[in-house]
Chain A
Amino acid sequence: MTKKKKRKPTPRRTTRRLVQLGFLALTVVAVFALGANAELWCPFGGVEAIYTYATDGTMPCSLGVSNFFVMGALLVSVLLLRRAFCGYVCPIGAISELTRAGGKRLGIKPLTVPRKLDAVLSLLKYPVLVLILYLTWQAAELIFRAFDPCYALISRNGDDITFWAYVVSGGILVGAFFLSVPFCRWLCPLAAVMNPFSRFGLTRIKRNEEVCTSCGLCTRECLMAIPVDDVKEVTHARCYSCYDCIEACPPNAKGSLTLETAFGSGRPWSQWRVVLIMVLLLAGSVYASYAWPLPSYVQQRGEAVDEPGSVELQILGVKCRGSAAGVWEMLQRDDEFGLGDYVRMEAWPKPGSGRVKVYFDPSVCDGEKVKAAITSATYDFATGEWVSPSYQIEGYDPYGLNE
């Protein structure tokens, strides 16, 4: 029996690992050092927010329109490169692979899952997706944040992380120690979204049967347990475009596996092209988020007037949909702080303070009235309770508390 050779780092493996680490480091620095809101850039957040944005004009929790842009970039990348996002960008994928690498260093051999069982387990992600989306859309809230491993591992909101999030994260890490990316293969709801598109991905691994020696090393090296040596073209939805199978080819079979387009001329795609496309798409989504900063919370009362007045405020405490809704409720008052029949509010909630723009009829209202309406206490006749808001508007100190 041939002794299994130790997998050596190759330029392409090293490149992919460096790209993964680069994106992971970027995420960690952005969140923990620069205070960025990781939730705003999660592509799955875009999936979760589709329904509420379409029906209500609002997005759950502290999601923003950037989630849609990133989701769009992701879907384009999937149509081009299948699940390259998983293999090069996703922090959970990176952490899972690093954990497996750590296990390997400690001499822990990966468990082999029979193909049939693997196929059955792979179906689990679909009911997971349906359950998450159904409950999220029902509640208009990120219900599964309490279990989300990304939120637990990469969020700055340490005091909000629940016990179950740690259980799920711990389970993923333990699983990744003994298995090859089990969460990504079997449970990831984002993978369930990507797979239908990935099936029709433009690029695929092609096997030249004339050069191939059927050694089976490609199948053994495949992170996603795809039987590469059994097929002429890898059209499996879960292909990472990671090049591990290509790198695994022995010297006497080099060139038998290449990444090409479906209707290509036989010219292989280099890994750098894959990396470049991923980087450009994601950078494009970030650019689009800043170039077209659509509000993630929009509400309106009454018919718009011809020339509305407006005031733009930076409000401490407008960090999510709930707090933006609280501001909107304060603008509904009809006591002496009432703002007239027409009011429109657009908000960009984010941790810390969010931007809010309020439009009104200038013949009955002005910016000072808007500020007073947001910050003055009011009696809610429906609940029989006084509501005293905790919002602070930058540059507005009606009670002299900042003196």
Chain B
Amino acid sequence: MRIKRLIASLALCLALPVVAFASEGSEKAAASFDRGLTVLSQGDFDSALAAFTEAAKSDPENQNYRQHVALVSRVKQVRGMLDKEQDPQKWAQIAKSLRSFYSDFDVYGEALKLDTKRHTKLCTPETGVDLAESQLELGRNAEAVKVLASLGAKTPPRGKLLNGIALARMGDLEAAKKIAKESGVPVTEDLQQVFDAACLNALVGNTAMAADQLTLVFEKTPAGRLDRVKAYAKQRADLAKLKGAEFEKVWAVASKVESSGCAGCSGAAGCSKKSAGGCGSDSGGCESGASGEKKEGESCDKDK
């Protein structure tokens, strides 16, 4: 009996430092990872890569850290390629991929620079909306209004919502309400558009509608991304009116997106036999097809 107790005590003494060491590694990794996300949003790719690398080394079991190292490494390469690319079609594709990354990681300083170039070169409604979005994220409301106004009749639904948000922030609630009323309830699979509608409705005081729209966004966001989306929504000043006690259940909404029942699958929605598509040029987004490269002297408001 004494020997059994001795063995158990020894095992505990050996296990505790191992556990402590392991958890220390995880904590260090998490801190490095958070630091990486912060400096990345400030546009410092080198520091972000160093931080993610440190996280991955501190916690080799965590695949998420490795994925971020791979992602930022690749994006750094792609950024270098953008400046050298001469083919307008390829340039547009590279720019679109970078824009998506900047949006995902809130790197709106870089997004603004890119969007300005994109809209100047390509001058499409999509590039105009992206530029307005970057300006809004950086609080440049008046500039966003100007860009969206330049799109004229070609302003897409999302552009109208962003315009409403900008006007509401600038104090022109009447105009913003009018836009909110005209936009109604977006019937779209584009969750970003529904989110923007929620922000606009919250700003103009249609809190019930805003709450419904935000609920829809949360329900349709895959579970693996929901926390990030909620965190972003919580820090968004436009949704301040939805933070009262009566809206608690909105923030508690869970994802209703089906995830795979497959034991080996890390949450993807089903084990589809159909390929999700790779980095193929045939699957969308040839922005230069509409207007081509801007000619010297031509402005981007030719539709006015």
Interface residues, chain A, with chain B CB atoms under 8 Å away: 52, 56, 58, 60-62, 139-143, 145-146, 157, 160, 317, 319-323, 325, 328-330, 332-335, 351, 375-386, 388-390, 392, 399-403
Please give the distance in Å from B282's CB to the nearest CB on chain A: 8
* CB atoms of A388 and B271 under 8 A apart: no
Q: Which of B62-70, B107-115, B135-143 contacts A (4 or more CB under 8 A)?
A: B62-70
**B interface residues, how many (CB within 8 angstroms):** 41
Nearest Cβ on chain B to A307's Cβ, whole angstroms: 26
List B26-57 residues whose CB lies under 8 Å from chain A.
Answer: 53, 56-57
Q: Is the CB of B53 within 8 A of A377?
A: no
- Give the Cβ gap from B34 to chain A, nearest Cβ, in Å: 18
Q: Is B60 an interface residue (CB 8 A)?
A: yes
B53/A381 in contact, CB under 8 A: no
Q: Are B263 and A388 interface neighbours, CB within 8 A?
A: no
Majority-rule SS of A interface residues: loop
B66 adjacent to A401 (CB under 8 Å): yes
Rounded to whole Å, the gap between the CB of B275 and the closest CB of chain A is: 6
Among A157, A317, A400, contact of B263 (Cβ-Cβ < 8 Å): A157
16 extra interface residue pairs, beta carbon distance < 8 Å, beyond A61-B271, A380-B279: A61-B262, A140-B273, A145-B261, A145-B262, A145-B263, A322-B260, A322-B268, A332-B277, A376-B73, A379-B78, A381-B281, A382-B276, A388-B67, A388-B71, A399-B56, A401-B66
Q: Report the minimal beta-carbon distance from A253 to chain B, rounded to whole angstroms.
A: 52
**Contacts A382-B283, A388-B70, A390-B67 given; does A320 touch B278 at CB 8 Å:** no
Given A141-B262, A141-B271, A384-B100, are A401 and B56 neighbors across the interface (CB < 8 Å)?
yes
Bound-complex Cα distance A239 to B57 (A): 58
List residues of B whose CB falls within 8 A of some A CB: 53, 56-57, 60, 63, 66-71, 73-75, 78, 93, 96-97, 100-101, 104, 260-265, 268, 270-271, 273, 275-281, 283-285
Candidate in B68, B262, B268, B285 with the most chain A CB atoms within 10 angstroms: B262
B275 to A386, Cβ gap below 8 A?
A: no
- Chain B contacts for A333, CB-based, 8 A: 278-280
Which residues from A are CB-within-8-Å of B93? 381
Q: Is there contact, CB below 8 Å, between A381 and B271?
A: no
CB-CB under 8 A from B96, the residues of chain A are 379, 381
> Quick one: closest B residue to A392, CB to CB?
B66
Do A320 and B262 touch (CB < 8 A)? yes
Chain A residues, CB < 8 A from B285: 381
Cβ of B192 to closest chain A Cβ, rounded Å = 10
